[in-house]
Amino acid sequence: MFISPDNRTFELLSHPEHIPLDPSCLVLLIILVKTFLNLLMIAIRRKDTYPNFLECFCMSVVLIDLLLLVGFSFIAYFQDFALWGIRFTKYHICLLSQIVSFACGFLHCPVFLLTGLDHYLNISQTSKTSHFCQNVFYFFSVFFIWIAALVYVLGDPVIFVSLSKYGLSSYQCPFYVSIQSYWLSVFTVGVLLVVFGTCWPEVLKLTQSFHIISFMKETVLYFPLTPDWDHAVISKKQLLTKLLICFLGTWLPFVLLQIIILFLDIQIPAYVEMNVPWLYFINSFLIAAAYWLRSQELKATETILHIDPFVNWKFCFIPFTIHQMEQMEKAAAAVTVC
């Protein structure tokens, strides 16, 4: 059994009669499915979002998966060839996937912290900054953390011994499982359950009163303020309730999937867990946290309303910034009838 630094690994059975598919072919198939899923999420996301760190990191994940898919396909097709004086066989697919898996496994917490810090510092920023300068900064930040992770993986003696022992084995392809992603899943699901337990009466009340309206040429969910809510100030509990509804309205299937994975203790290879859907889920979670933490400083500008590629947070702020929304709706309805 392959023992990883985090003591959370699993491997394919080492006896060939028990292996239904060659390990290298299985890795190639997994990378193919993951790449397709990543590209699908990139294709269906909103395109009018403002630059941020995690958006740049998602693009790097897509690029790395594409490079791995092309490289693994090339190796699988030729099977045994030499390039630049280095001999490559199909077992290098397993070796390279292990290296990338270790690197991905160490990046979950750094990416989580850097993304949260990025949103917290920029969430209420109203000044116009150069998108080019931001993109350059994010590019070099992402490049640095990938290089740092690879240098750490290749320089760690324990990992090096593990790679040397199993990397070219004919029937063994151990999958590294990151403890970081496991605890991040526990943290996010735990926070959501605590928030829902705290705000469930308000959640029920709001879900019974919401309706769909058109605001600034965009369809949004509008939750009228109830009489017992203060119209003059933003209550943190009120905002938290709306953030929860908005988040679950988009990511509820993914939250249920995380609960099932945690409950059944399903171990997923680190290079599979570092995918674009997971990153966008974490992105929305951190945006909601930043909104709530800086609620007293927020101003409903286009910048803060266009930083999430999937969740539309606009309804969370419209009732606080436009108190005459219902009167505007009635006036618009009267004009339509006339």
Residue 15: what pLDDT?
41
- Residues 185, 168: Cα–Cα separation, whole Å: 32
Nearest partner of 301 among 289, 291, 311, 288, judged by Cα: 291
The amino acid at residue 305 is L
The amino acid at residue 54 is L
Nearest partner of 109 among 193, 6, 12, 208, judged by Cα: 6
Tokens of 267: 């171990």
**Buried-exposed string 247-273: b where 16+ CB fall within 10 A, e elsewhere:** bbebbeeebeebeebeeeeeebbbbbb
| pLDDT one-digit tens code per residue, 229-269 | 444 445 778 888 888 988 998 899 999 999 999 999 888 88
The amino acid at residue 274 is M
Residue 63: what pLDDT?
95
Residue pair 50/272 in contact by the 8 Å Cβ criterion: no
- Residues 38, 62: Cα–Cα separation, whole Å: 6
Residue 256: what pLDDT?
95
The amino acid at residue 247 is F
| pLDDT one-digit tens code per residue, 191-201 | 999 999 988 88
Residue 92: what pLDDT?
74
| pLDDT one-digit tens code per residue, 289-318 | 988 888 777 665 555 667 888 888 877 776
**pTM for this model (two decimals):** 0.81
Q: Mean pLDDT, consecutive 10-residue segments, the chain of 338 residues?
A: 39 40 76 93 87 92 93 79 68 81 91 92 66 87 94 79 56 76 94 91 76 63 55 67 88 94 89 93 93 76 71 71 49 45
Q: Left if phi > 0, otherwise alpha if psi is -120 to 50, otherwise beta: which for 307?
A: alpha
Residue 18: what pLDDT?
44
